Structure 1
Amino acid sequence: MTRPEISFEFFPPRNIEGTFRLWDTVQTLSPLRPRFVSVTYGAGGTTRELTREVVATLHKHSGLKVAAHLTCVDATRDETLAIAEQFRAAGVTDIVALRGDPPKGDAGFTAHPDGFASSVELITALRDSGDFNIRVGAYPDIHPEAASAQADVDWLKRKLDAGASEALTQFFFEAETFFRFRDACAKAGIDKPIIPGIFPIENWKGARRFAEGCGTKIPGWVIEAFEAAEKDGRQDLLATAMCTELCSELIDGGVEQLHFYTLNRPELTRDVCEALGVTATAPLGAVA
């Protein structure tokens, strides 16, 4: 099996305990030499300033290539581009450009009157404002707001054509879901990299909520397997085996890069990576 390139997603901490967990996650996973790590916004842009601070600190002290998430939610165009310039001033030119989820309690996304109406508008502005390396989201299962699977493919093509270099997918449970999406993208003329998003499941109930919220289909066999594993405390064993098998099938199908959603809980991600032959080396740097 070919050793894949890997990357990780982190989220900014909301309290002291979360800060320690983030730094522990960085120290655990940085020896695996990821291609890059990304740092999220909270829903509705709620952690915008924390994201900026974490991105700057990781860039300065960890030795990792850091990509900052940037969304269109609840900000004017000038405010959003000012944040991008703050990232650039801190030495970070990798951006994950997303429309973003609406603030909690809102029925759906509503653009700020003076803001970007879509991720395509944001990507275009970032492209025109300087030499950012832009990544975008993609949806192997139909996005809850999309009219069809083809609509998701067409929208991804618009984002890539607007200036993005590659796409990171939402997580999924079966390799065939990704392969079907990859084939549809190739048929539509998309030739830029599409990186599978991998979610090692630390908490099944939480993962099920995430999946239902973002439109990820949950196969019946997955539900049955976790319900059985919960009865005798085998959830971690099942999650590791299931995630490793998924990644192995993807690699066998020609995938060369994997992007892990860590939720700042690194152990299962580390175990899966090591099972795939991605072994630790000396840490890149100490986080101050």
Structure 2
Amino acid sequence: MGTVDTMPEARRALATPMFADLAGDAAVSFEFFPPKTEKMEETLWESVQTLSPLGPRFVSVTYGAGGTTRERTHATVARIARETSIPAAAHLTCVAATKDEIDAVASEYWDAGVRHIVALRGDPPVAGTKFSSPVGGYENAAALVAGLKKLHPFEISVAAYPECHPDSPDPGHDLDNLKRKMDAGATRAITQFFHEADTFFRFRDAAAKAGIDAEIVPGIMPVMNFASVQRMSAMCGTAVPKWMGTLFEGLDDRPAARQLVSATIAAELCRRLYAGGVRNFHFYTLNRAELSYAICHLLGIRPKPELQEKAA
């Protein structure tokens, strides 16, 4: 024990109960996708009801390439705005739509009481092809942000890529693009998911050096299925550390054990981010509440009584 006693970090780790130093002062937001079936709709609304008492800053609803989920996204966002007290944010992309079409959708959201848009360039409708702006469309996310700001005084979140967007030639080009989005009027950036805290800290430092002073919120994806996270990570250029594979090995047929491991990994990532000064977290829920709820609980976030009554 002599060596351990000389190490302040080890002493603190041994003396402090797990997550005891988290004051519950973190704020969270949650992302859902629009349901395709009645059963999925049920699951989504159970998740919304489970998570809403935690008092999220907002919940966002994703939007498929080429407008494939446009109507479902609108219906889900409108229902959240109508039936809950949570601010609802709608995703909008530049894919397969003209400026007039996108502006019309944005105005419909405004009329439905939605004041927050997550503005994205979006992925090409055909996987593996390069993005190209449709005739009469917005050419990129910065142009979309500027267009939305001309329409209404929306709050606007945009995407950021700690490990560089796959279409960007280098991180410097990627940061320039993020700065253009912020300069066009975006409120904050939410990052693509990543697996190690240092990845976020390096990016945050690089963004500050590039003159980006807006809020950058880490996007957290609890791992439901390791193989699918590997696939998603490969598609968006996110590094999967070897230790993650080791921790999930042998759990394919043990979903309950896998969920416990997943919650532990994601909570530890959040703890490290919190230790580095992060106080806002955005969870990619995949429409499942329990993992995100457990992590929020470990972060010291508790249901607010007045919101619990509304969700009941």
Q: TM-score by structure 1 length?
A: 0.96
Maintained 8 Å contact 2:107/2:151: no
Q: Hey, which bits of structure 1, 4+ residues long, moved more than 6 A?
A: none
Aligned in 2, Cα 1:45/1:215: closer, same or farther, shift over 3 Å?
Answer: farther
Spell out the pairing of 1:1-288 with structure 2 (5 A cutoff). 1-3=22-24, 4-105=26-127, 107-230=129-252, 234-282=257-305, 283=308, 285-286=310-311
TM-aligned CA deviation for residue 44 of structure 1: 3.0
Deviation digits for residues 160-197 of structure 1 (CA, Å, limit 9, x no counterpart): 01100100000000000000000000001111000000
Letter in 2 for 1:5: A
CA distance in 1 between partners of 2:81 and 2:261 (Å): 34
TM-aligned CA deviation for residue 232 of structure 1: 6.2
Aligned in 2, Cα 1:284/1:46: closer, same or farther, shift over 3 Å?
Answer: farther
Maintained 8 Å contact 2:61/2:89: yes
Deviation digits for residues 209-261 of structure 1 (CA, Å, limit 9, x no counterpart): 11111111111111122114447663112111111100000001000100000
TM-aligned CA deviation for residue 201 of structure 1: 1.0
CA distance in 2 between partners of 1:118 and 1:169 (Å): 17
CA distance in 1 between partners of 2:67 and 2:128 (Å): 13
Aligned in 2, Cα 1:14/1:98: closer, same or farther, shift over 3 Å?
Answer: same
- Specify the SS of the correspondent of 2:169: coil
- Specify the SS of the correspondent of 1:67: strand
Q: Which moved more, 1:240-249 or 1:36-45?
A: 36-45
User: Kindly, what percent of the aligned residue pairs are identical?
Assistant: 48
Give the number of aligned pairs.
287
Give unmatched runs, 5+ long, in structure 2.
Answer: 1-21
The CA RMSD over aligned residues, in Å, is 1.5
Letter in 2 for 1:128: K
CA distance in 1 between partners of 2:76 and 2:227 (Å): 28
Give unmatched runs, 5+ long, in structure 1.
Answer: none
TM-aligned CA deviation for residue 263 of structure 1: 0.5
CA distance in 2 between partners of 1:231 and 1:164 (Å): 43
Maintained 8 Å contact 1:202/1:236: yes
- Specify the SS of the correspondent of 1:171: coil
CA distance in 1 between partners of 2:109 and 2:101 (Å): 13
Match of residue 13 from structure 2: none
- Specify the SS of the correspondent of 2:249: helix
Deviation digits for residues 98-153 of structure 1 (CA, Å, limit 9, x no counterpart): 00111144612121111111111101111112211111000001211111122221
